[in-house]
Homo-oligomer: A and B are copies of this chain.
Amino acid sequence: MRVSFETMFNEFKRVLINIGFSNNKARLCARLFSESSLDGVYSHGVNRFPLFIDYIKKGIIKIHNDPVRIQKLGIFERWDGQLGPGNLNAYSSMSRAIEIANTNGMGCVALRNTNHWMRGGTYGWQAADANCIALCFTNTMPNMPPWGALDKKVGNNPLVLAIPRAEGHIVLDMAMSQFSYGKLNIYLRNNEQLPLPGGYDTDGNLTCDPSQIKETGRFLPAGYWKGSGLAIILDLFASILSDGNATHMVDHSGDEYGLSQIFMAWNPAKLKSENLKQTFVTEVVNFIRNAEPATQGEKVYYPGERTLKTREHNRQHGIPVEKEIWDKIITM
């Protein structure tokens, strides 16, 4: 079944107000969850909403807490998220980085003691909508074995980079695992194999079988040792610069909280970047898009291109929801 953006937004808002959110916070939080769903990231949109509410009920997410600035040194600021809602904390941190960039050309906000930011791409689109270039990343609880290991000792630590462009922003939103848990579940429900190996089976071999990977928990880092190394060092960056928790400190018997995140923004106009004023970005993008496809009839995409297609499609036809999840939400 499909529901319209407005219906979804209103349901989320209703539930959030019911549980004690102020009107303003409920509106923003509902918008972020709905927009992630509209863009096709259901795993961190509509499908995640019930767990978000559970975390609030359990007292893990503290809905009345706002981030507090602890330190400021020029364009670098350190904030404490006080375990408030992760998406609101992240949105506020990127807003602050943009604000600093609008005055100084560049801004960097390190946020500690926050919660899961849901869809990372949200903060890339946010910055690009404000005509800023952005780079942000988060750590997570240990959910992936590092390269060459059996047990989960690194996070999949999503990394987001964004470039504004009038004809459609360039936004990359990538976790360090080859496939996300959410993606794996979709293949599993559809009884499909992954298109490429995404982890290990019980015999220790690489496999495309999502059920085997779920069983072993051995998700494959993207690019093997490369995604593993990047995950390790992004965790160090986030926790050192924010003076917050590293991955091994945010796993509380399976509950994930107290994360560390970094938000950086550059305002190219303020930095007088001629390259952004011209048709430069579109030239780069077209160079990529004009590559010869490996499979006839296929296309070569730039990061963010397909998101815009999904957004448009879902706006026209409604956002696909699983009846079971949607029924749960409307009776909340």
Contacts and interface: CB of A to CB of B under 8 A. Distances in A.
A61 interface: no
Interface residues of A, number: 81
A10 B172 CA distance: 45
Contacts of A302: 229, 232
Nearest to A103: B74
Interface string A182-195: 00000000000000
A324 interface: no
A226 B76 contact: no
A148 B226 contact: no
Nearest to A248: B287
Interface string A234-258: 1111011101101110000000000
B284 A239 contact: yes
Contacts of A295: 148
A76 B106 contact: yes
Contacts of A247: 284, 287
A266 B284 contact: no
A75 to B, nearest CB: 6
A133 interface: yes
A146 B300 contact: yes
Interface in A126-178: 133, 135, 145-151, 153-154, 159, 161-163, 170, 172, 174, 178
Contacts of A149: 291-294, 300
Candidate in A178, A275, A293, A295 with the most chain B CB atoms within 10 angstroms: A275
Mostly helix, strand, loop or mixed at chain A's interface?
mixed
Interface of A: 71, 73-76, 78, 104-106, 108, 133, 135, 145-151, 153-154, 159, 161-163, 170, 172, 174, 178, 196, 200, 204, 221-224, 226-227, 229-230, 232-237, 239-241, 243-244, 246-248, 266, 268, 270-276, 280-281, 283-284, 287-288, 290-295, 298-303
Contact of A291 (B71, B153, B204): B153
Contacts of A276: 240
Contacts of A226: 174, 178, 222-223, 227
23 contacts: A71-B271, A73-B106, A135-B237, A146-B291, A148-B291, A148-B299, A149-B300, A150-B292, A153-B288, A161-B233, A161-B234, A163-B240, A222-B226, A229-B303, A232-B288, A236-B284, A240-B275, A240-B280, A243-B273, A246-B275, A246-B280, A246-B287, A248-B287
